[in-house]
Structure 1
Amino acid sequence: EDKEFTGVIVDVSVILKEVQNVGTELVQKGLTEEPSPIADEKDADLLEILGKKRYLPRKTTETNPKIEDVLLLYTEPLENQINPLTTWERAELFRDLIDSHWNLNIHMELVSEYEEGNINNFDVLMYIGENYHSKIPRALINDVNNTDREILWINYYPWELDSRKLGFEVSGTHSFDFDRISYRGYDFKLNPTDTSLVEVIDPKKATVLAWLIDNESEKSIPAIVNANDNFLYVSYLPLAVPYLDEPIPFFNVLHETFGHHEKASKA
């Protein structure tokens, strides 16, 4: 059936009890292993618990011979910080997610520190556009427009890129209208977030992997797009690590960038 859903972890930034409850639900769904007990709930630090990967899927031997080094770019902190995770902490959780599934060298830095040609030192460039007001270096835009390296671009500022090359264009307008993600015949409730509006302009170059759907109008727009088999765009900011079902489509399409499972041979 060609379903390659990954194991999942938990994105919760409130209380330890909720982390444990969600972890239990994931175990019941068969999406992750039984977590080891937390010794001292009173003094336990939430980020430390997540950092110890208590809800991460088991490390596999999955590798991609083409992918070894990853440059993960993240934005400056938000001025009016509402989310208890800083942009750096969120980037760390993305890094841990990838590291839990692939054996890679991941280098993290602020997008503002990017210099011309840096992309050539890595096999994958991953950009997490969390802060709309972060300025994107022109050198980064130019390098992405002219590279054949693997690119994973999340959320803001794809409209600066060459839409004719990618086969899709993104409006600077955003919407909170969408309620769920449709992926491979499955629906996943979307965590409330603003989403960029995507339109495919050349289906020969851009393939929609998942759709955002408005429950009231049934309107749909692309949520995740694969362009030219080397550029993956996610039009919303996924939970850094999953909370219930929402991030599963995002987790699964990471295989498009970092590599697929080896197919088991049939006797």
Structure 2
Amino acid sequence: MNKVYVLLMAGVLAASCSKKEVEMPQEGKDLIEIVTNVAPQTRVPNLEQDGSGNFVQGDVLSVFVSGNMNTIHTTYTLGTTSMTWSGLKLAGDVSEVTFSACYPQQELGSDGTFEFNTYSAEYKDLLLSEAQKVTVGTPKPVNLSFNHAMHLLNVNFTSDGYYSAEELKTLVTTCKAKASCVVDAASGRIKETKPGVESFIAEGAAAAFYLVPQSTSDVILSVKINQLTKEYSLKTLLEDLGTPQETLQGGKKITLTLKLCKDKIIVESGSIGAWGDQATVDGEVVIG
């Protein structure tokens, strides 16, 4: 797994959940060394063929420092900024803190949380680094391991020959699902999923939807090609495949292959697992 080493300087941080751009790096024992690594299949600007990758100079993240004090939020740009213990201005009785982070950068609310909406976000693959305990003043690197917070639903389409390749390009897939979640910055975890539903739309023979964790019964897929339209719940579809799933979990993905026939749609195959398939199921299910 590729790693990128980043040194960061925290500027003067104000009251709770405060945020400001950090200053230029300085040398010395006060420096906090941050080591970041990105899980395979993470979509960042620099990707290898197998989907693994690393952050590159210019990427902007949010770092959260917490403990028995209010959460400190600082934004930094990789490769150009650094962080120091003195810059955090911790109270003298604070001996241990936690570091968590997210990519892309987020605006933190006064309650120490932020909302992420996959429908409106420009970069929909939210990466979270869960809280890591760190001894104040340690010279050891702070390790931030980023993982996917969203669930990835892939839907691919083939034809039994009735529909041409050109017709498949006109296919429209609509995914109705909950779209936003609340993240607790201090823990680096999703706190709750919000009830609002959006319609995610994709055209063509392949569709990919980044979804917040939610019940599979809340996810409704609609497929339209020419005069044929079919709608079904993801929960029922997975049950018919013999792989029932009650919830969509962050960091995992479902991939379905649907075969389009003259007057029906057949589920040709599917896989469920981490982003890097771990389990595969095969079979056919007639929809409608």
Short-chain TM bin = under 0.3
TM-score by length of 2: 0.23
Larger Rg: 2
Whose helix proportion is higher, 1 or 2? 1
TM-score by length of 1: 0.24
Select the structure with the greater relative contact order (CA < 8 A; seq sep ≥ 6).
1
